Amino acid sequence: MAVAALDIRLDGILTEDDARAIFWQGEEVVVFAILELSKRIAEQKSAEPAHSHDTPATPSGSKPPYSKPSTSPRGKKRPGRKPGHPGTRRKVPARIDRRADHRAQACPDCGGPLNRCSETRTRYIEDIPEIEPEVTEHTIHRDWCPHCRKKVEPPVPDGLPGATLGNRVLVLSAWLHYALGNTLSQIVEVFNFHLQLPLTPGGLVQMWYRLQAILYGWYEEIQQEALKSGVLHADETGWRVNGKTLWLWCFTTQNLTYYMINRSRGSPALRNFFIQEFAGVLVTDFWGAYNAVVCACRQTCLAHLLRELEHTEKYKSPGKNWPAFAKKLRRLIGDAIRLWRRKDELSPQTYASRRERLTVRLQELIDTDWGNGHPKRLVKRLRRHRNDLFTFLGHPSVPFDNNHAERSIRPAVIIRKNSYGNRSQRGADCQAVLMSIFRTLKQRGHDPIQTVVQALHEYILTGQLPPLPAPKTTSDG
């Protein structure tokens, strides 16, 4: 019997009447209809992209280009400045190193002779000259000390003891790897071909280990300053070490970033960082390990909560009570954010009254019986973090999301995609230390390469590492 013989539609959604019509036409028709529907469902699934199960949390880089929707040009902001605005060009160089004079010998179109004129124009071109390594032969005088009864010699500040490569090579290569995410092979090629300075991967890694040991004092200073900060953001992500999954932790403020690679994603790792009680505000997502941190107060990320609502509605079966629950929670979060943005417009009494009303509404949402399923799951989260949701309303420097930590951990994630992690625990420790130092120096407005080179110069001469440079600006670089 053909499908067309059935007085139903098998190419759309079956209604209850359609299903009953199939049933009353007999066993053969039911079997045929089920097999036909199963065949069409299988054909639809085979035609879907392989990554059709991606969720909003799936990184864009994990999706193949053919599965990403095309961006509609309508409503998209055009690049560049608006018409009528002055353009932006490179400034005229303050220093001229070389001058060149150019004059045509004949017309480039017909090849005929030219009548010379006095008219000229000036054009500036900034370029990198051909680079050749500078080799310095250091003659080190050794003199006798009658008091110590031994020969002594002065230190050479241009390179580490015993090293044949200078400090600039060391710091530049480390910056390319630990700050910009270039792979070891890429850095070797840059030095071998562009800078004309032959290097080996093994030699570079051993130099980086020495640099880590010298700068470790700065790493500890970053940790101490983070523990004394007023607002601290935290986040974590996976990290591979020798083929095993470890965790990269990120603790950051506006002026510093501290990375730590640890085997644990739980409280043992946090105890390694929080060696003392934290007196500031800790801003995190809802990961349960952060509950073990002893701190003055917390702020949980409201953006994570909103994304959880969206994910549940799109990819799960939330239940009949979900629409009312989600509507109330979204409205509560939206009102809190709007109140935070209008703080300067309202009187202290009005602001305090509306803030108290938000707390009452949150408690009413928690006390309501929403049944089982996803509303109950999120109510448990709200009950656990009821004192952590609206902390930002009482602290002007505390945001309602954890966006700063996510942006600070992103450079490390890009490095992870390029290098796939580390091959040893020693390499992971070096990764955490040098990433933290370069990122912190950038946040503080310092030239990372020049700053570290100067620090090495002072360390070689005095044997003491200078203090970690203070911030030049408060903005995140």
| Tens-digit pLDDT profile for residues 283-306 | 999 999 999 999 989 999 999 999
- Name residue, tokens 């010298």: 214
The pLDDT assigned to 88 comes to 77
Give exposure, 91-119, as e/b (b: 16+ Cβ within 10 Å). Answer: eeeeeeeeeeeeeeeeeeeeeeeeeeeee
Q: What is the mean pLDDT of the chain?
A: 88
The DSSP bridge pattern shows strands 278-284 and 150-152 to be unpaired
Q: Which of 56-65, 73-82, 452-461 has the highest mean pLDDT?
A: 452-461
- Name residue, tokens 């995140």: 476
Residues 6+ apart with CB under 8 A from 406: 235
**286 closest CA partner among 345, 236, 326, 251:** 236
Average pLDDT, integer, range 185-204: 92
- In the three-class reduction of DSSP (H, G, I as helix; E, B as strand; rest coil), residue 358 is classed as helix
Structure tokens at 370: 């929403």
The pLDDT assigned to 473 comes to 62
401, 302 Cβ separation under 8 angstroms:
yes
Considering only residues 79 and 13, tell me which one the structure prediction assigns the higher pLDDT. Answer: 79
- In the three-class reduction of DSSP (H, G, I as helix; E, B as strand; rest coil), residue 299 is classed as strand
The DSSP bridge pattern shows strands 244-252 and 295-300 to be unpaired
Structure tokens at 115: 């009548």
160, 459 Cβ separation under 8 angstroms:
no
The DSSP bridge pattern shows strands 278-284 and 231-241 to be parallel
The pLDDT assigned to 51 comes to 53
Whether 373 has a pLDDT exceeding 70, the answer reads: yes
